[in-house]
């Protein structure tokens, strides 16, 4: 759903593994500011773009400026206070922005056959698909994926057979190109959801054109999902980033974890790719959710029952993304982290 400029210019470097934060609503006044705020998140596809984004940015910025921002005092407890490291709200956190964006992308597809933008870039998309394939194939043996360079060249037929039974959900699928890559890797039961109807129309059109008409695309909001099934593998490439850019981003991120926890089947995987959170920040966010779950379901300890595993346990992360140095700290502009849901509820 969201993306960043890749690779970064040295002058663009702000924080390891964190995309430049979009300007606050009160600062989104000039056309130049609007352009920088939106363009810093996007990567144009190989087809380029013939779309006029200016009016889309103006409309979304005006809507964002009319939103009511929550004060720190509005949060119910110290635990729920906003993190000082959170990025500022942006037009990219609004559904109206994505509705307009995908309406234009869909029109551009019908007129020119263009697929639109590939968020985070083709290399990241291909790495996520190949790395996750290897992770899923290794899960029965509980093998950690430490070398994702080898993963990208893995074409083992046995691994493909192991993927046949995996059910896959991509939340915030956008144009659905990530799911096409997963289909090429050997996954067969694929579903993509997005709250933008235009995104789903575009994704279905692109999948049909590419020969992947079996991929299922559904209009659905991750924060108010109507899905009634669980999946062995749930993917998020930029959706949590966009959720956090809403004016109520902190509360929406809490709702995100609550909702996604119901979609991952016991023992299944959640793979998040982010440009606004580091690996450690994603792990910490999962741990915060785990602590909330533990407190909500606390029962008297039983000698016959071992300590329960956390709801979402960190498994591994992609290690081959290009890194940058900032303030003496090495980090990556993109993080992909895998969590496993505990098998026992």
Question: Mind giving me the DSSP string for 213-250?
Answer: TTSEEEE--GGG------EEEEEEESHHHHHHTSTTHH
Q: Which of 82, 64, 4, 103 is nearest to 246 (CA)?
A: 64
Contact by Cβ (8 Å): 150, 322: no
Neighbours of 341 (CB within 10 A): 23
Q: What is the pLDDT along the chain (345 residues), one digit of tens a residue?
A: 444 333 333 333 333 333 333 434 333 333 343 333 334 344 333 333 434 445 555 554 554 444 443 443 333 334 444 454 567 888 989 999 999 999 999 999 999 999 988 889 999 999 999 999 999 988 763 434 444 444 444 445 555 557 878 999 999 999 999 999 999 999 999 999 999 999 999 999 999 999 999 999 999 999 999 999 999 999 999 999 999 999 999 999 999 999 999 999 999 999 999 999 999 999 999 999 999 988 887 654 444 444 578 999 999 999 999 877 766 777 778 999 999 999 876
As a whole number of angstroms, the distance between CA 91 and CA 25 comes to: 8
Q: Cα–Cα distance between 170 and 192 in angstroms, integer?
A: 5
- Return the beta strands (E) in 50-135 as ranges: none
- Domain residue extents for the chain: 10-296+307-341
Between helix 197-209 and helix 177-184 the angle, nearest 10°, is 40
Whole-model pTM: value is: 0.73
What is the fold, at CATH topology level, of the domain defined by 10-296+307-341?
A: Rossmann fold (3.40.50)
């Amino acid at each position: 759903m969201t993306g960043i400029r890749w690779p970064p210019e040295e002058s663009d470097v702000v924080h390891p593994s964190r995309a430049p934060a979009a300007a606050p609503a009160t600062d989104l006044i000039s056309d130049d500011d609007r352009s920088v705020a939106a363009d810093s998140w996007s990567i144009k596809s190989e087809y380029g773009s013939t779309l006029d984004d200016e009016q889309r940015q103006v409309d979304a910025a005006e809507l964002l400026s009319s939103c009511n921002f929550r004060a720190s005092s509005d949060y119910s407890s110290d635990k729920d206070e906003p993190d000082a490291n959170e990025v500022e709200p942006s037009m990219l956190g609004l559904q109206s922005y994505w509705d307009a964006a995908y309406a234009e992308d869909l029109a551009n597809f019908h007129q020119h056959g263009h697929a639109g933008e590939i968020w985070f870039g083709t290399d990241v998309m291909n790495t996520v698909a190949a790395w996750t394939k290897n992770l899923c194939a290794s899960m029965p043996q509980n093998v950690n994926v430490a070398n994702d360079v080898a993963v990208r060249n893995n074409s083992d037929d046995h691994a493909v057979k192991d993927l046949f039974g995996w059910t896959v959900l991509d939340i915030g699928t956008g144009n659905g190109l990530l799911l096409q890559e997963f289909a090429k890797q050997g996954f067969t039961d694929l579903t993509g959801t997005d709250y933008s109807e235009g995104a789903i129309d575009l994704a279905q059109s692109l999948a049909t054109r590419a020969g992947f008409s079996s991929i299922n695309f559904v209009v659905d909001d991750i924060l108010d999902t109507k899905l009634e099934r669980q999946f062995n593998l749930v993917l998020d490439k930029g959706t949590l980033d966009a959720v956090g850019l809403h004016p109520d981003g902190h509360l929406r991120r809490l709702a995100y974890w609550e909702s996604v926890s119901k979609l991952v089947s016991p023992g299944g995987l959640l793979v998040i790719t982010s440009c606004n959170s580091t690996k450690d920040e994603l792990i910490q966010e999962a741990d915060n959710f785990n602590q909330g779950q533990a407190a909500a379901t606390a029962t008297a300890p039983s000698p016959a029952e071992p300590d329960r595993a956390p709801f979402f346990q960190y498994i591994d992360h992609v290690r081959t993304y290009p890194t940058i140095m900032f303030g003496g700290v090495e980090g990556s502009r993109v993080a992909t982290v895998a969590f496993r849901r505990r098998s026992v509820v």
